[in-house]
Each structure stands twice: as C-alpha cells, then as structure tokens.
Amino acid sequence: MQKIISYPLSIIFYFFFLFWLIVFHPIQWICYNVFGYNAHRISVAILNGFLVRNTHILGTTYQIRGVENLPENKPLILVCNHQSLYDIPPIIWFLRKVHPKFISKKELGKGIPSVSYNLRVGGSALIDRKDGKQALPEIKKVAEYVNKNNYSVVIFPEGTRSKTGVPKEFAANGLKMLYKFAPDSYFVPITINNSWKMTRFGQFPLGLGNKITFDVHEPLKVSDYSFDEIFEKTEQTIKKHIN
C-alpha cells in the first residue's frame, strides 16, 4: 500500500526537488561572483533547507541530537555513515553554522544544477576514488583549508551508500590525510539512521513516513590521539549507534 501511495507523492517530490535546484543555480552564481563566499554559503544553506522541507511531502521527519557538542570556532572533521543521498541536505542545513564542505566523487562536479556548482566553488574536494594520486592531494587541500578557516569537512568513509542501513567497512586513507593536514581539528562521529528507507524501493517511488535521525557524538581532538586510536574510536562510536 505504501508503495502505491508513494507513486504520486514521489512525482510531486521530484518536481519540486528539481525546481529548487534549477532556481538556486543562478542565485548561487550571483551570490558567489558578486557578493562572495558568505553570500554563497548562505544561499547553499537556504537551498538545502528547501530540499529538507521538500521531503515532508513524503512524510519524512528529522531529529538532530548533540549539536551542542560541536566546538565553536574550531576545524571539524564530520565523519558519518552513509545511507542515501538524503543524508546530505540535512547536514548542510542543520549544521550550517560550521560551514560544511564535502569530500565527493568527481563525477558530481558537473551536470547537476546547483549541486555541481557548489562542489566546484564552495571549498569541497572532488576526488577520483580509483586514482590515489589525484584524490589524496585534493583531500590534503581541503584539510588545510578547513584547518586554516575553522570550517568543517564531511567524509563518508564507507565510500558507497549502504542500501540496507548495515554499515560497510570504513576506509582509512581519506581520514588519515585529514588527520595529518588538519592538526587543529576535531573528529566528530555522526550516526545517521533510517535515511536508507527513503530509497527502500529504489529511486522511484520513494519510501514514506521515515524518521531520519542524526546523532552528533562527542568530538575527539586530533592532537589527543594517534591516528589508529582516533580511527578505531570514531568507527566504533558511529557503528554502535546504528539501528
């Protein structure tokens, strides 16, 4: 029954999803090229606020816990499990005060209104997962950038999304580069639950009535741990709280 009801709602959802991406593409361009970084950042946050609200068409609700744990004016490495593309707009919107950047696959850097433009000019890293010689310098660059400016960078160390919510093994290389080149930062483990249910039937139709939760755990100061220690503690903390 849910799947049948979801067909018309998913059509409405995708119409407005694409609408907001198209509308905000020129807005982003104007903000970035005329008014600079902060105006562009705000436009991206507002866009993702609309995308989050758009999921209410599908009966989606959100709960964000632990935001008060985030250190102020410190560089942050936001380490998250990855369940669907619907992980991303809530992170940008609800954690907008920490200026989240992303480590993303390079294919997303072109062809998608608003999304590709933001990834190219907003300070994120576009990497080729199959080419370490290209990927690692890009991660180094974003690590130094967030460390210098007290921004945050989001990394999904599973690499690919979990379609069932069951977490995959965390890869260490990207986290190791962030650890090394953002020495003033904090690792912030974040557990995402139920996002995978949005695509339980695939990309169409979408799942209905899901409560997506984000648990922001206690930050771990990079300088207080060896890489192996902070990697293990981060992974265990995230996976322990996955439903």
| Residue-wise pLDDT tens digits, 26-71 | 999 999 999 999 999 999 999 999 999 999 999 999 999 999 989 9
Which of 117, 93, 107, 114 is closest to 21 using CA atoms?
Answer: 114
| Residue-wise pLDDT tens digits, 95-153 | 999 999 999 989 989 999 999 999 999 999 898 877 777 889 999 999 999 999 999 99
Which of 106, 153, 124 is closest to 40 using CA atoms?
Answer: 124
Residue 6 has pLDDT above 90, yes or no: yes
| Residue-wise pLDDT tens digits, 146-188 | 999 999 999 999 877 777 888 888 989 999 999 999 999 999 9
For residue 134, the model assigns a pLDDT of 87
Rounded to an integer, the average pLDDT of 71-89 is: 95
Q: C-alpha 111: how far from its chain's center?
A: 19
| Residue-wise pLDDT tens digits, 188-217 | 999 999 999 999 999 999 999 999 999 999
For residue 67, the model assigns a pLDDT of 95
In angstroms, the CA 144 to CA 123 distance is 11
In angstroms, the CA 127 to CA 139 distance is 8
Name the pTM for this structure.
0.94
Answer yes or no: are the C-beta atoms of 55 and 94 closer than 8 Å: no
For residue 213, the model assigns a pLDDT of 97
For residue 161, the model assigns a pLDDT of 77
In angstroms, the CA 204 to CA 3 distance is 9
Domains and CATH numbers, the chain: 2-240 (3.40.1130)
From the number of C-beta atoms within 10 Å of its C-beta (0-12, 13-18, 19+), residue 64 rates as middle
